[in-house]
Structure 1
Amino acid sequence: MQFIPTIYLPGSCAAAISFYRNAIGAQLLSQLTAGPDSQNPGAEPKIIRAAMRIGEGVIYLSEGHHAAPAAFQGFSLALNVADHGEAERAMQALADGGTVQFPLRKTMLADPFGKVIDRFGVHWSVEVPVS
């Protein structure tokens, strides 16, 4: 069994794919796009599912099935990194156009640990786990 979260980003999925590739080195594994069809000839193409590898994990990104704005509450994505330098780079990159909620610092969970909301509204924690 494998757990793969899907993040719905209506209208900004392609931009998010590009951002995560540049910001945290995500790799695009696959992408399925649906374009205009006979029932919706003027519709914009939509990304139905894009699989991205981030480190050892995989997430799906999608435009979703409707145009409701994205609302990310009650969860965050944790990015475990190898060292302080990588944590600094990831926090800075994810915060570009976003908001740092908790600057990197030593906590009982990790050294360092930080929280950021990226430009798409996705909540992230960046951490070097305590050994």
Structure 2
Amino acid sequence: MKVNMYLNFDGNAEEAFNFYKSVFGGEFSFMMRFSDAPEGDKIPKEEQNRLMHISLPLGGDSVLMASDIMPSSGHTLERGNMNYISLHTESREEADRLFNGLSKGGSVEMPMEDQFWGDYFGCFVDKFGIHWMVNHNDQF
């Protein structure tokens, strides 16, 4: 089984993913706008440029994916803390790089520090309202 993370945005998925790409590197493996869908010209003009789907490979089998909601279809976005993206890094340096890059412009909940359970860990909400955890364990 493979598990991928899927996020929803309200018109700023492309901006968010360009930011994530600047931190993680790599290239988008897929990007489609609502205007590219069959009968995309019937979608309200203000929603045609929104992303129907975008994928950013993060390495290994991990892929970060997202789409924008369509308000004209009754979709609403509710920000919450029910989901975190948990990153497990191979080094403390990689943990610091990802934490510092992704948290820029956001709100740090816990800075990167050695924790009582033995891991190097921190968490934050990025500038797009997405909750992240960064974790490194020297034994794995």
Give the alignment's TM-score, normalised by structure 1: 0.86
Question: 2:108: which partner in 1?
Answer: 100
Residue 11 of structure 2 contacts residue 69 of structure 2 at CA under 8 Å; is this kept in 1? no
1:48 to 48, 52, 60: 52
Q: What are the within-5 Å matches in structure 2 for residues 43-82 of structure 1?
A: 43-56=47-60, 57-66=62-71, 68-82=76-90
- The answer to whether the aligner puts 1:5 opposite 2:1 as a matched pair is no
1:117 to 100, 122, 125: 125
Residue 9 of structure 1 contacts residue 70 of structure 1 at CA under 8 Å; is this kept in 2? no
Question: 1:23: which partner in 2?
Answer: 23
Letter in 2 for 1:115: C
- Give the whole-Å Cα distance in 2 for the aligned partners of 1:14 and 1:60: 11
Report the Cα offset of residue 54 of structure 1. 1.5
The residue matched to 2:93 in structure 1 has which SS? helix
* 1:56-76 deviation digits (Å, cap 9, x = unpaired): 311211002336344132120
- Give the whole-Å Cα distance in 2 for the aligned partners of 1:3 and 1:60: 11
Gaps of 5+ in 2: none
Number of residue pairs matched?
Answer: 130
The residue matched to 1:37 in structure 2 has which SS? helix
- Once the two structures are aligned, what percentage of the paired residues are identical? 21
Gaps of 5+ in 1: none
Q: CA RMSD in A?
A: 2.0
Change (3 A) 1:83 1:69: same
Report the Cα offset of residue 11 of structure 1. 1.2
